[in-house]
Each structure stands twice: as C-alpha cells, then as structure tokens.
Chain A
Amino acid sequence: MTIRDLTRRDFLKTTGAITAAAALGGLPTDLFASGPRMATFPEKRELILMTSRPPQLETPMHIFKELITPNDALFVRWHLANIPTYVDMKEWRLKIGGNVEKELQLSMDDLKGYEKISYTAVIQCAGNSRSFFEPRVAGGQWGHGAMGNVTWTGVRLKDIMQKAGIKAGSVDLAFNGLDSAPLPKVPDFVKSLPVDKALEDDIMVAFEMNGKPLTMLNGFPARLIVPGWYATYWVKSLSDITVTTKVFEEFWMKPAYRIPDNDCGCVPPGATPKKTVPINKMTTRSFVINPSDGTTLSKGKLIELMGIAFSGGHSIRDVIVSVDGGKTWGEAKLGQDKGKYSWIQWFYPWKPEMTGSYTIMCRATNAIGDSQAIEKLWNPAGYLLNSVEKITITIS
C-alpha cells in the first residue's frame, strides 16, 4: 500500500465516523467505533493503528495462532516523536560508560564477536490490555495485541559488561536509545536495571528477531532483551549503557512505569498507591485465540479450541479451559515447549452438542503456582492486567 492510499483511507474512515456520529447528534467516544483504524508502516504488514507520531501499532489477535510472531506483525511502541528512521552502521556504536574500568565503543562487528545466544521470549508492553481497565485509565489504549513471541538472537549483556569492568559502588545500569525528544524539556527515554538484574545470564543485547536483523520500528540495529520482564526495559535502537553510582530515577523510571508496592500491584479502583516500585516481572496470562470472539460455529462439529499462555519467566504448569462460563473446567493439552520465556500453545478439542451462546474461558498456572484471578485488578497506570479472559461464541 502506498503512503497516499493510507492517508486517504484513514482520512475517509475518520471523517466517515465523525459524519456518522454527527448524524446521531453526538460526537463519538471512539472515532473508530466501526472497527480499528489500520495502517501499514515500513517493514510491517497492516496493523492496528494506536498512534502515528510516534508510531504505536498493535497486532491483531488472529496472528497469535502462530507460535512465533512474524517480524512484520509484531507490535510497535515508541515514546518520543523523534524515532530513528536512519542508521548508518559505519557510524553506529554501542557505547558503554559511567562507573567502569574501561569505556567501550562497540561496532556491530565488535558486538558479534561475543558469544552468540538465542532464545524465544514473549515481548509484552507494560500497558498491554489497558483499554480493558475498569474504570478506564489514561495512556495508550491497547487491546491485547501489544505482545508477541519472538526468537531473539544476540549476545549476553553480562559478557559486554565484563569486558568494560563494572567498578565497585555501582548501583544501576542505564540504557538509552537513538530516539529523542521533540522538545528540550521532554525527558529522554532512558531505562535502568539494578546491576544484579542486568548481569543475569539471560539479559541480551539482541540484533536479530526470528533470524533477521531487527526491523527499524522494533529497535534496529540492537535492543535490550529482559526476558520475563515488561518490554519497557527492552530499550530499542540501543546506543548507550551507563553504569551509575546512584539509583537511576529519571522520569521514565520515576514517576513513570511504577506499580503499587504490594503483592498484587493493585489498589482499589480510583485509589492512589501509597508507595510504588518500578514495574518488573510480567504476570501470568492466557488467551483464547481460536475461535475468535463472536464467531458462530456449527453444532456437532469438533472445534479445536486453541490459545496461548505465558508468565514472567516461569514455565506454564497447566492451562484449564471452561466452555460454560466458568462452571466446569478441563485441562488443556500443551503444545511445543520453547522454554520458560516463550508462550506455550494450549489445545482443547470440544464438540458442542447444543445450540446457543457459550462463554469460553482459560486460566494458566505457572511453575511457581502464580495464576490468574477471575476479577480484574486495578492500578492508576493500567499495568499488570491478567484476569481470566473470556470469549463468547454462538453454536447454531
């Protein structure tokens, strides 16, 4: 699709919605109530458009029928309007500095000189599913598609930092990328991890997704991978790693991306948390992917109910499925295990013998017993949502 087509079509969709709403005598809550607004960005297929500047694109749920999310279908989320659209690899360097023995400036060739590692890991935006909060909260109004399951290849951050030599008294590692702010006072997007976390074996500086170089919108040429943790830490188009001697508390670490400091990371709806901590590990989640919500299927035919489950770096122990709105549950069969950071597919063959409306639900439990509540949690920023998901289908 050409740029002109995209603009024209979006314009038509938008004005169409406004016209329709005007005819009904009010303005729409959601200008795109007739269906999500779609857009095609470079190296991406048509995805759900959240925002265009900076780009925020969501993956449609049907894509998650695949165990691995294709590169051109993976969601996109940037914070600052000036995103990298041009990188000269002759110039690009990953700079390591701060409280280190030896500062480094690594070219891509230098980076590829370290031992290569690869694993499959769920990447999920901290704000994934925010639009399902009740009451609603401000922020990116994602459905469930700000996630994906990707095989990442790169090198261990630990190995790089060993070369640089972290000096005594170090507290955090701060990660900065090539994106920059549109106005001088807008805080640059910099994220940090405590030294101990950053030096875990599995923290990766990745330069490939699914065997190909990173797409520009997913962080070319290299990004941080913090498997099991929300993608806010997975800094894209990584350019600088700085070792600090104090807790790093710039805007995107504090007050942004914080959760209530309690077991559930939640507060009563509308309440303000007394104390917060930086968001970290992902909660356990599962979804029904097939059939899709609202589908009509035939009585007496076998349906392969299918979905996915994952948690913050712990394997999924089991997934249970209900086809009667939670009255009874049966255990699903789990698919190929691609490791503790990957999602796993679940399958539940089911032959409905009676016509009517069915509510299908799934609930995952991970290796350490974390599961999903029926009731939705709430916090002011719209994070951690992991209540049991349900879809409704009709059997005719």
Chain B
Amino acid sequence: MKQILMIAAIIIVMTAGLASSGPGDSIKSIDLPDVKTVLADGPGKDTSEKFCNLCHSLDYITMQPRFSRVQWTGTVNKMIKTFGAPISDEDAKVIINYLATAYGNGK
C-alpha cells in the first residue's frame, strides 16, 4: 500500500511539474463581470453618465449619501482639478445640477 501511494505521489509530482512548464501556465488572468448601474432620470443624466464613466462606474454616485449642492460641486471640482477629468465649465454645471437634483438633499 505504501509503495502504491509513493508511486501515485511521484506521478502527481511529475504531472504537476509538466503542467507548470507547459505553455501559458505562467499566466494568470481573470475576466471582470460587466455590472450595469442605472442612474435616476433627470436633466443632465446623459452628460453625467458620459463623463463620470470615463474613470469609474456609476455606482460611485449611487452609493454616496445625499449631498448638498455645495458638496456635489466640491466632488465634481475634485474630479476636474485633482483627477484631470476633461469636463468643460458648461458640462460641469450640467453635471452638478443633475447630481444635486437627482442625488441631492435639497440643500
């Protein structure tokens, strides 16, 4: 019995050895799922989706607590000034207005 186990072990080791030296075995890869987040309807939704999606999924918006217009303005400005989002002043106004309305706290 011991001998059989030993032989089995040797075969497993050999097979593993062969497998790891085969082509492609040095590669590890994953496929990320495509998760969709639907934003609330409202004026400026398309513009917001277009620009926010450049860097991150839209659940970054939906997970936030409801913010005031001042807070949303700060967030959008941070995306532009700190992270270099290519958003014009005009589009920024549209996005801030959308967020403050659809995801705002009324303040």
Contacts and interface: CB of A to CB of B under 8 A. Distances in A.
Is the A/B pair a real complex? yes
Interface of A: 3, 6-7, 10-11, 14-15, 18, 27, 29-32, 37, 39-43, 49-55, 81, 83, 85-90, 131, 136, 138, 140-141, 182-187, 213, 216-217, 220-221, 251
Interface stretch (B9-17, B61-69, B89-97): B61-69
Nearest to B20: A89
Contact of B62 (A31, A55, A90, A217): A31
Given A52-B57, A81-B56, A136-B65, A87 B102 contact: no
Given A40-B33, A81-B55, A213-B28, 19 more contacts: A7-B34, A7-B36, A11-B36, A14-B37, A27-B103, A31-B40, A42-B32, A49-B35, A52-B32, A52-B33, A52-B37, A52-B59, A53-B35, A55-B32, A81-B56, A89-B26, A183-B84, A185-B84, A221-B28
Nearest to A21: B40
Contacts of A15: 38
A136 B36 CA distance: 26
B interface majority secondary structure: loop
Interface string B69-107: 001000100000011111000000000000000110000
A304 B32 CA distance: 40
A3 B33 contact: yes
Contacts of B54: 182-183
Contacts of B3: none
Contacts of B26: 88-90
B38 A42 contact: no
Given A88-B26, A88-B27, A141 B55 contact: no
28 contacts: A3-B31, A6-B35, A7-B34, A7-B35, A10-B35, A11-B36, A11-B38, A29-B66, A32-B62, A40-B33, A43-B30, A52-B35, A54-B56, A85-B31, A87-B27, A89-B28, A141-B65, A182-B55, A182-B56, A183-B54, A183-B83, A185-B83, A187-B82, A187-B83, A216-B29, A217-B30, A220-B28, A251-B82
Given A18-B38, A52-B35, A86 B55 contact: no
A218 B95 CA distance: 33
